Structure 1
Amino acid sequence: MMHILLVLLSIAILSTAHAFSGNELTEMLKDGLGNVVKETINGVVTLEKGSIPVWLSGNFIRHACGVFGETSHRNKDLPNYIEHLFDCFVMGSKYSIDNGQVTFTNRWYDTTVEDIYNSYGREMNASSMFVHSVFSKVNAKQIDKWNGNMSSHSKVSEIPNVSWWLVDNQAIAMTEQPIGVIIDPHDVVQKGYMQYDDDNLGVPDTQQYLFSNNPAHEQTEPDGTLWSTVSVVKFETPSHLKIRRIVYKIGADTVRHVVGTYHYEDSDITRCKGDNSYPDFGARFGYLHSFAMTKNYIVLPETAFMDDPCVFTRYDQYKPFFPQGFRYEPNGYSRLLVMRKSDGVFIANITMPPFFATHQLGAYEDGNLIHMDMLTYNDSGIYDRHMFLDNLLSENQYTTDISRITISLSGMSARMRSLRANGKPPTAFEMPNINYDYYGKKYTYAYLAKNFDRRDQNAITKLNVDTGVEIEFVLPEGMFVQEPQFVARPGAVFEDDGVILAQGVDGRKHKAFMVIVDAGTMMLIGYVTAPDIALFGLHNRFFPMKVGRTTVDTPGGIVG
């Protein structure tokens, strides 16, 4: 009864019921899929409800889109717009929070992409899509025209716009390659590529080798040690490929230490026929956007969205990379690789029926069992269908499974089950987070964005992973929430003693917003409106004030 009461109270605070038609909501959703006309630097926000906790101090920064082009007058032939969410031109969108006060910054980065786009007066009817893409159609003539500029090392060409890492007290913008760009979270400016003090993970920097699929999301130990993984392709000959996956960690020495290596079967790409994918699944690594860590193990849940070595026989630089480089294999399998952290030995390679996964919740050991929780799908549609603008602006009815995979280390087997309570209707969830002090440990709560980037009514959902009970903070129709982020209260004793921060787009006011919600009760604490719009995008992170400063003068941990 108490859970129901809390939900009703949350709805009463901020939500109104079905105030708009479907067409009206679609027009509001377009606010997050358009273009930012001007920057905002340290703009004053409007406190709409509640208050800002005085203990909350830091920079809440997000990879926000800045440009989608002519989304209201789309010309697919040119093209004059960016077709897919993952390919937008990025901005830094930040709320600075300190001593009960909030300011808003939404700023373009100094990059080659921005220089080129500015030369066209920020008009995509003139510039068209001039950079290589993940999923969007590009203009071949414009690719050729600007390829030299984009390949130059004299300047950062573009900002990796997926996730955030923390290395050596620096905020690092990351995508799915083992290279990142340092971002000053105070001023929202780029400070160049992150330089590691190592030998390129032991991989020669020649055309014989290439990196692929470094998951955007890392895992971080309580002492700040960061774990990640990347696949390495070596051309033994023009047709003979050796592929391995490296697991590495980064410490305070800013060296990427290789801990373990998993070898796949060799590929002979003379076996590639027509448009068919490579016939041997054992020679193909599965796509990873995230992975799991427990006290003693790294677990890599490779999905059935498999790399295709045949891409090297037919790669077309004028076509999006992902549809060429990866294919979902419904007749293939997913692969769970379990590595022992102490010595880098892979102790298990467990196959499961095919699935696709985006983000992890938590993971922990329970005797001889490993429990790892993640968002799963029956195919790769969340990438290769649902995040296209044409679908985002329609009903876009995708649904998500919140799944627990339990691995038996004694039986070297695995099973999957849903974490949601029986009878819950299918729902679209994305962008989960937990209390990061509980990474690798037994945990209870996860926080997710409901109806992420959909016109349906949005909410922040708190899930009890033990009971399946869900509590929601529901937003009014026309307010579209982005990734929720947990920040612990100073001196917190309980797992959910803290707040949830979330940015978003208010299509009713044509402006950005931020909410602060009590993570225990899911009741509103404070709600601010920014002075201007910020668009949809991908991940965010809350950095305490000390991050990005050479002189540490503010206490606090790292969340994100």
Structure 2
Amino acid sequence: MIKMSSHTIGILSVFAVCACAYTPEELGQFLRVGLSNIQRETIDGPTTIEGTVPTWLEGNFVRHACGSFGHTESRDKNLPNYIGHLFDCMEIGQKFRIQNGTVTFTNKWYDTVVNDIYNYYHRDMNLSSVFLVSTYSKTNPGQVDAWRANFSSTSKVPEVPHVSWWQVGNQAIAMSETPIGVVVDPNSLQQHGNAQYTDQNMGFPDTPAHGFTNNPAHEHTEPDGTLWSTVISTTWLGPTKLNLKRVVYKVGADRYRHVVGQYDYGTADLTLCHGRSRYPDPALRPGYLHSFCMTENYIILPEAAYMFDPCAYTHYDGHVPFFPQAFSFEPRAFSRLLVMRRSDGTFVGEAHLQPFFVTHQLGSYEVNGEARLDMLMYDDASVYDKITYVDALLGPGDYSTNVSRITVNLTDFRASISSLRRPDASPAFLEMSNINYAYNGRKYTYGYMVRNFDMREQNAIVKLNVDTGSEVEHVFPEGTYVQEPQFVPRPGAVFEDDGLLLTQGFDGVTKKAIMAILDARTMTLLGKVTARELALFGLHNRLFPLNVGSFIGTHAEIHVIIG
């Protein structure tokens, strides 16, 4: 690690406010850096620190980073020779380790079937093509079939889920959107197999007739470590009868997934499926959840009008991306709000709202007989099915987020939607929201987001006062791309915003991985950490204490019919 002298503080002001006059072509090249390929591993590599890293700040700041996109500079859409969508990139384990004011950087490939196969082709997608089943990206059917048996082997996990991070007990668990993840040691960035739970399939029949889909990537965790989540349960009652339920469960110190409540959508009659048409009754189509809300007394599920389609089971094609087959946004249908009482698992209320799509949450709380639920909302599903394709990311960004509040009357469950931003605020693409997690489920004031996430336009970390709508932001130089901000409270903090914001990303100009440390109260830059190696785009990150990861998980089976 190289530590700069106090005279380098002046450099930080340039880092904070410089807006260089790059051409659109140059900005496109800088962004393309994040859609390229990591060439080699780096283990505990040195970094350069400009400014300061508080000595009290410590942990493994791990990120679900992309490691390979293939040949995005010479895209062959027929082969294909590149990963077509951000969500499908080949992951690499990545972290900044922070301790006693020093920082190291690690890029490490996980020991998985995916990496074994890619290594066989010398990590060249012109040779391998896209050989794994995807979420949105086009695959090579011949290569999918050629390697399918390898993915069915139980000797090694096929891949490490690379969306979000959970913590159960002392284990860090890499998650996507199924109810099981892979244990990763944040210290070594080694995977230790599927997470082990002590229940048997959550109490549901462990047979091919039963399955799960759409477990939100993001959980809620109570101060005592109890984790809450939810999943869609599917059960075949006959050749053409499919029952669908929304199951809410929690996991405690016993590592047992306790089912708390169930919402029964009903039973779909698949004789009503014709060709590629969607199931005709939206009431029997569960809405997509990437995240959900928790207040002091309720779990509240804001299901998007991006609806799961039971008819997908009649024509599912394992060579074709999963999401376009299984979900579709229905602008003529509705978004569904389900309210479950935490104490006994009873679903006490339901509301239908205008069609919307939700990615991430800010905070949620109860006041004066109402629940106030703050989230990042969109008018359709384009944030998934349009703008996060590689071809779209390489084009100009023109997309905006509705930072919204749903207010629910907890007596009659009428609900309304309003904006948390001021009327004169400029439209902005705001994503990857977080709050001070000590305020999760109770009254809070501040949310933190990244502006122009994964876009070539100038990035910033935004602090939003949800009571007044006022915004303060720290703007990064053009060519610098940052992702999810994480709030870390200062020891002994009294005020909600007394702490730091950590964010990772890369500098497309220098082609280096970076970490930025902001003062959350003032939104000023305290320190910039630069690795000697490259980082690419990715998804969520999390700061784990240095002692997390001492237990090793083992294999646990669960049936997932689609996904």
TM-score (norm 1): 0.96
2:558 aligns with: none
| Contact residue 406 and residue 415 of structure 1 kept, 8 A | yes
1:105 aligned counterpart, secondary structure:
strand
For the residues of structure 2 that align with 1:501 and 1:90, how far apart are their CA atoms? 21
- For each residue in 1:412-470, what CA deviation from the matched residue of structure 2 results, as whole angstroms up to 9, or x when unmatched? 10000000011111100100010000000100001101000000000000000000110
1:279 aligns with: 280
1:45-194 maps to which residues of 2 (within 5 A)? 45-47=47-49, 49-194=50-195
The reply on whether 1:475 has 2:457 as its aligned counterpart is no
- For each residue in 1:295-332, what CA deviation from the matched residue of structure 2 results, as whole angstroms up to 9, or x when unmatched? 10000000000001111111111110000000100000
| Contact residue 11 and residue 473 of structure 1 kept, 8 A | no
1:526 aligns with: 527
What percentage of aligned pairs have identical amino acids? Answer: 56
1:40 aligns with: 42
2:21 aligns with: 19
Deviation at 1:122, TM superposition (A): 0.4
| Contact residue 288 and residue 301 of structure 1 kept, 8 A | yes
For the residues of structure 1 that align with 2:12 and 2:271, how far apart are their CA atoms? 60
- For each residue in 1:90-123, what CA deviation from the matched residue of structure 2 results, as whole angstroms up to 9, or x when unmatched? 0111000000000000110000000000000000
For the residues of structure 1 that align with 2:65 and 2:142, how far apart are their CA atoms? 28
Deviation at 1:550, TM superposition (A): 5.5
For the residues of structure 1 that align with 2:34 and 2:97, how far apart are their CA atoms? 21
1:555 aligns with: none
Amino acid of the structure 2 residue aligned with 1:74: R
222-231 or 203-212: which moved more? Answer: 203-212
1:149-548 maps to which residues of 2 (within 5 A)? 149-548=150-549
395-404 or 451-460: which moved more? Answer: 395-404
For the residues of structure 1 that align with 2:207 and 2:120, how far apart are their CA atoms? 34
Amino acid of the structure 1 residue aligned with 2:96: Y
Amino acid of the structure 2 residue aligned with 1:112: V
| Contact residue 31 and residue 510 of structure 1 kept, 8 A | yes
Deviation at 1:549, TM superposition (A): 2.7
Amino acid of the structure 1 residue aligned with 2:48: T
For the residues of structure 2 that align with 1:314 and 1:255, how far apart are their CA atoms? 35
For the residues of structure 2 that align with 1:334 and 1:449, how far apart are their CA atoms? 26
Change (3 A) 1:10 1:379: farther
| Contact residue 216 and residue 230 of structure 2 kept, 8 A | yes
Deviation at 1:411, TM superposition (A): 2.4
Deviation at 1:210, TM superposition (A): 1.1
Deviation at 1:19, TM superposition (A): 2.2
For the residues of structure 1 that align with 2:509 and 2:379, how far apart are their CA atoms? 34
For the residues of structure 1 that align with 2:305 and 2:35, how far apart are their CA atoms? 30
For the residues of structure 1 that align with 2:17 and 2:42, how far apart are their CA atoms? 28
Amino acid of the structure 1 residue aligned with 2:19: A
| Contact residue 232 and residue 243 of structure 1 kept, 8 A | yes
For the residues of structure 2 that align with 1:295 and 1:10, how far apart are their CA atoms? 41
Deviation at 1:13, TM superposition (A): 5.1
Deviation at 1:165, TM superposition (A): 0.2
2:238 aligned counterpart, secondary structure:
coil
For the residues of structure 1 that align with 2:315 and 2:397, how far apart are their CA atoms? 32
131-140 or 308-317: which moved more? Answer: 308-317
For the residues of structure 2 that align with 1:328 and 1:10, how far apart are their CA atoms? 44
Deviation at 1:398, TM superposition (A): 1.4
| Contact residue 404 and residue 418 of structure 1 kept, 8 A | yes
Deviation at 1:274, TM superposition (A): 2.5
For the residues of structure 2 that align with 1:550 and 1:352, how far apart are their CA atoms? 44
| Contact residue 220 and residue 227 of structure 1 kept, 8 A | yes
1:266 aligned counterpart, secondary structure:
strand
1:554 aligns with: none
For the residues of structure 2 that align with 1:13 and 1:207, how far apart are their CA atoms? 55
2:116 aligned counterpart, secondary structure:
helix
Deviation at 1:492, TM superposition (A): 0.7
For the residues of structure 1 that align with 2:116 and 2:94, how far apart are their CA atoms? 19
For the residues of structure 1 that align with 2:187 and 2:101, how far apart are their CA atoms? 17
Deviation at 1:171, TM superposition (A): 0.4
Structure 1, unaligned runs of 5 or more = 1-8, 552-560
71-80 or 409-418: which moved more? Answer: 409-418
For the residues of structure 2 that align with 1:144 and 1:168, how far apart are their CA atoms? 38
2:114 aligned counterpart, secondary structure:
helix
| Contact residue 171 and residue 551 of structure 2 kept, 8 A | no
For the residues of structure 2 that align with 1:550 and 1:64, how far apart are their CA atoms? 23
- For each residue in 1:67-107, what CA deviation from the matched residue of structure 2 results, as whole angstroms up to 9, or x when unmatched? 10000000000000000000011011100000000000011
Q: For this pair of structures, how many residues does the alignment match?
A: 542
For the residues of structure 2 that align with 1:10 and 1:216, how far apart are their CA atoms? 35
Change (3 A) 1:121 1:27: same
| Contact residue 15 and residue 477 of structure 1 kept, 8 A | no
- For each residue in 1:107-143, what CA deviation from the matched residue of structure 2 results, as whole angstroms up to 9, or x when unmatched? 1000000000000000000000000000000000001
For the residues of structure 2 that align with 1:396 and 1:333, how far apart are their CA atoms? 28
Amino acid of the structure 2 residue aligned with 1:14: A
Change (3 A) 1:358 1:10: farther
TM-score (norm 2): 0.95
1:31 aligns with: 33
